[in-house]
Amino acid sequence: MFHDRAKIWVEGGRGGNGVVSFRREAHVPRGGPDGGDGGRGGDVLVLADPSKRDLAALRHARHFRAGRGRHGQGAQRHGARGDQALIQVPPGTTIDGLDGERFDLVEPGQSAVVARGGSGGHGNKRFANSTRQAPRFAEHGLDGQSGWIELRLRLLADAGLVGLPNAGKSSLLGRLTRAAPKVADYPFTTLDPVLGTLESDERQLVLADVPGLIEGAASGAGLGDEFLAHVERCRALLHVVELAPPEGASPPEQAYEIVRGELSSYGAGLDRLPELVVLSKADLLEAEGVAERAEAFRRRLGDSVLGVLAVSSATGAGLDELRGAILGAVPERPQPAAPRAEEEARFEAEHITYRPAAEQGYEVTAEEDGAFRVNGRGVELLVARHDLSNHEALSYLEQRLAEMGVVAALERAGFEPGDEVRIGEEAFELDPG
């Protein structure tokens, strides 16, 4: 089986805690604070690795957790960063990530951080200032991002072979490239997409052979739309039509129209891709009949297709011409060098920047029982970092909340000193000043 979808749980590592520590020196009775910071938790990273064929490996191991950051230590020693968790997928994988993020891994080596590790807590050294010379508190590390993400693979081929079952698509792929797809005299021999590379002096093109399409394929008949997805990223189609189908099978013109119908009802622009019509198994008909049918196709389709060629995978007739036509027909891959670099920079930036705007906003609401709730990512993170049973930590927190304007906002909402305040998962009596 070819697995082109997966749903996995990803979890960035928790950040290490900052530590409370004081310097000890022979001649200094009571040294200054020297607690180091905790290390960042590791990230979960998805990497495009061309040696991977599909997403099958993600069906067995579905949980990916990055390592925790180490705690800080005395003497200003910071904790080490948590280990990264690496997930390898084939190029062509798109990811529906956390918080609505989307990633598209196209080039080998491209990667995306799908779950960031939590930041480490600051050690008490960081909280020392002229009025607070010996802080006896430090921050906790924060949890990493976590949740389910979905991956989907769409093969990255330059041209796709489409046609009814048994049309001779796989035989053709085998003749044009070094791929060795299964070929047999029954419909749906090909169950999984197969890629092959067509080489010339100047270019290398990847051809994709997908399972045969039948009427209704776009709405799920046969192997259906599952496999049309793999043609979405192609830049041309090789539409294979059997010249002399067996008794009872659709005649060539009808076979052609059935497949065209499926391409257009699938959507995604498949019916607008440049198309080469390949009339297959020419050896089964005398030359005159082949020429006649090819001519009839040309007349009917005119300029709507790039060309109509008759070939035989059995004898090799017409294959050189077909190779040349494919190499000429498939447009160059758009060179996205500059925009892609920018994209990547944007990905990176999105992951590294702190999103200050979102973090500073908060909202105060009075709850029915007389307590007050403050919602806002920035304040929630601030509270999550501190141990509120620690006196000093609590008064530091009160001071920060006052600086951020949260106390004033609470007062506007009717808060009085000593009332209960709820932020994130914490509830505490706030008594500022």
Q: Which residues here bind Mg ion, judged by CB under 5 A?
A: 169-170, 189-190
Give Dmax over CA atoms of the chain in angstroms: 107
Shorter beta-carbon distance to Mg ion: residue 81 or 169: 169
Contact status: 168 vs ligand GTP (CB under 6 A): yes
> Cα 383–384–389 angle (5° rounding)?
70
- For ligand GTP, the nearest residue by Cβ is 212
Q: How far is the CB of 67 from ligand GTP (least distance, A)?
A: 45
Report which DSSP code applies to 383: H
H or E element, residue 422: strand 420-423
Name the minimum Å distance from CB 308 to ligand GTP. 16
Buried b (16+ CB within 10 A) or exposed e, 279-304: bbbbbebeeeebeebbeebeeebeee
Q: How far is the CB of 190 from Mg ion (least distance, A)?
A: 3
Beta strand 159-162 pairing with 236-242: parallel
Q: Which residue, among 220, 160, 215, 159, has the nearest Cα to 187 in the 3D structure?
A: 215
Region 185-244 residues binding ligand GTP, contact defined as CB under 6 A: 185, 187-190, 211-212
Nearer to ligand GTP, 54 or 192 (CB): 192
Stretch near ligand GTP under the rule CB under 6 A, chosen from 27-35, 149-157, 177-185, 412-420: 177-185
Question: Cα–Cα distance between 65 and 144 in angstroms, integer?
Answer: 10
**Stretch near ligand GTP under the rule CB under 6 A, chosen from 166-174, 329-337, 345-353, 398-406:** 166-174
Nearer to Mg ion, 189 or 375 (CB): 189
Residues between 341 and 380 that touch ligand GTP (CB under 6 A): none
Q: Which does 74 bind (CB under 5 to 8 A by kind): ligand GTP, Mg ion, none?
A: none
Least distance in Å: CB of 187 to ligand GTP?
5
- Closer to ligand GTP by CB, 145 or 280: give it: 280
CB of 190 to ligand GTP, least distance (A): 3
CB of 174 to ligand GTP, least distance (A): 7
Instruction: Find the binder of ligand GTP among 80, 106, 128, 284 (CB under 6 A).
Output: 284
Give the residue, chosen from 48, 113, 167, 326, that forms a contact with ligand GTP under the rule CB under 6 A: 167
Q: 208 or 330: whose CB is closer to Mg ion? A: 208
Q: Binding to ligand GTP (CB under 6 A): which residues in 288-347?
A: 312-314
Residue 318's contacts (CB-CB under 8 Å, 6 or more residues apart) are 282, 309, 310, 311, 312
Please report how close the Cβ of residue 161 comes to Mg ion at its closest, in angstroms: 8
Of 110 and 170, nearer to Mg ion (C-beta) is 170
Measuring CA to CA, which residue among 167, 166, 156, 240 is closest to residue 195?
A: 156
Sign of CA dihedral 90, 93, 96, 100: positive
State which residue, 41 or 193, has the beta carbon closest to Mg ion. Answer: 193
Picking from 365, 373, 369, the residue whose alpha carbon sits closest to that of residue 423 is 373
Residue 22's φ and ψ, nearest 5 degrees, are: -125, 145
Q: Between 48 and 162, name the residue whose CB sits nearer to Mg ion.
A: 162
Total number of residues binding ligand GTP (CB under 6 A)? 24
Pick the piece of the chain touching ligand GTP (CB under 6 A) from 104-112, 277-285, 298-306, 372-380. 277-285
Answer for which of 22, 104, 152, 165 binds ligand GTP (CB under 6 A) is 165
Nearer to Mg ion, 183 or 413 (CB): 183
Asked if residue 67 lies in contact with residue 13, where contact means CB atoms within 8 angstroms, the answer is yes
Instruction: Label residues 97-116 b or e (16+ Cβ within 10 Å = b).
Output: bbeebebebeeeebbbbbbb
Q: In 102-252, where do the E strands start and end?
A: 102-105, 111-115, 146-153, 159-162, 194-199, 204-209, 236-242
Minimum gap (Å) between residue 279 Cβ and ligand GTP: 10
CB of 202 to ligand GTP, least distance (A): 28
Of the candidates 72, 109, 38, 112, the residue with the CA atom closest to the CA atom of residue 352: 112
Exposed, middle or buried by CB within 10 Å (0-12, 13-18, 19+), for 410?
Answer: buried
Q: Kindly tell me which residue out of 180, 184, 296, 358 binds ligand GTP, with binding defined by CB under 6 A.
A: 184
User: Which tokens belong to 322?
Assistant: 């077909």
Q: First vs last Cα of the chain: how many Å apart?
A: 67
Nearest to 169 by CA among 143, 146, 187: 187
Give me the residues that bind ligand GTP (CB under 6 A), please: 163, 165-171, 183-185, 187-190, 211-212, 280-281, 283-284, 312-314
